[in-house]
Amino acid sequence: MSCGYENLPNTFAGCRLVTGLTFVGYFIPVRELVVGFFTFNTSFVVTFWVLFFSVITYANAGWMRSIVCIHMCPYARFQSAMFDKDTFIVGYDTKRGETRGPRGRKKDPKELGLGDCIDCNLCVQVCPTGIDIRDGLQYECINCGACVDACDETMDRMGYAKGLISYTTEHKLEGHKVDIMRPKLIGYGVVMVAWWGCSFYCFLRYNPWDWMLSGIAASCSKPTVTA
């Protein structure tokens, strides 16, 4: 079954040069860069970095895609340390779904000894990282919600209530109340407020607009597109 991701490489092939030029445009005047690049008047170093960022963008976003999420993204590794049982996740309601198994639409699953999962496998087919969320929380999950939509459609077709797979918490799935005032969350809140406070202090004290304007003035005074 196609989930629409097959066309992404072509889409990103069109965007990669724009990304490369934009990245390099942070460091040298972008108008001269674009004109110079397309008239072959940029230096070797500038041309190299434009092509480098273009190829990297294509490789990451257009070709490797979920490989980056599963094997390279550091966030997936440390986010599990930040999670607890009240963290908002995409989760499968095992109590309601099991025992899974196919059945006719008009059959009563209770009479057959089945739960609400009809084992259609749609949630696995639409998953961009290829996992089965029914096996529980996994670090590969990027919380895209594609399995939630796919399963809700199946539930609709079967005439069951939606939400067999949903945005939820582990505590909620176990039938407990979600605890909002928990030490981890308060700790993260304190760190965020301290971070914003420091940023605001620096913003007022060092006036970044002066830096930005002097940076633009300096870059505009450069006569040629070289690095």
Alpha carbons within 13 angstroms on the beta-carbon side of residue 222 total 16
**Of residues 108 and 210, the one with the C-beta less far from ligand SF4:** 108
Q: Which of 42, 47, 54, 154 binds ligand SF4 (CB under 6 A)?
A: 154
- For residues 86 and 179, the answer to whether their CB atoms sit within 8 Å is yes
Q: Is residue 114 close enough to count as binding ligand SF4 by CB under 6 A? A: no
Q: Is residue 76 close enough to count as binding ligand SF4 by CB under 6 A? A: no
Shortest Å distance, C-beta 170 to ligand SF4: 15
Chain centroid to Cα 158, Å, comes to: 31
Q: Is residue 131 close enough to count as binding ligand SF4 by CB under 6 A? A: yes
Q: Which of 46, 50, 164, 225 binds ligand SF4 (CB under 6 A)?
A: 164
Q: Is residue 147 close enough to count as binding ligand SF4 by CB under 6 A? A: yes
Phi/psi of residue 165, each to 5°? -110, 130
Q: Is residue 89 close enough to count as binding ligand SF4 by CB under 6 A? A: no
Q: Which of 118, 166, 173, 225 binds ligand SF4 (CB under 6 A)?
A: 118
- Both tokens of 218, joined, read 């300096």
Looking at 76-84, 114-122, 176-184, 207-215, which segment touches ligand SF4 (CB under 6 A)?
114-122
Per-residue buried b or exposed e for 15-49, using 16+ beta carbons within 10 Å of the residue's own CB: ebbebbbbbbbeebbeebbbebbeeeebeeebbeb
Q: Any residues with CB less than 8 A from the CB of 127 and at least 6 apart, and which?
A: 133, 146, 147
Number of chain positions touching ligand SF4 (CB under 6 A): 29
**Of residues 157 and 184, the one with the C-beta less far from ligand SF4:** 157
- Both tokens of 64, joined, read 């490797």
Q: Is residue 137 close enough to count as binding ligand SF4 by CB under 6 A? A: no
- Alpha helix (H) residue ranges in the chain: 8-25, 30-38, 44-57, 66-67, 74-82, 94-97, 109-112, 122-125, 146-158, 170-173, 183-206, 208-220
Shortest Å distance, C-beta 196 to ligand SF4: 30
Q: Which of 50, 165, 173, 225 binds ligand SF4 (CB under 6 A)?
A: 165
First vs last Cα of the chain: how many Å apart? 48
Q: Is residue 13 close enough to count as binding ligand SF4 by CB under 6 A? A: no
Q: Is residue 173 close enough to count as binding ligand SF4 by CB under 6 A? A: no
Residues lying near ligand SF4 in the complex (CB under 6 A): 90, 97, 100, 117-123, 126-129, 131, 133-134, 141-147, 150-151, 154, 164-165
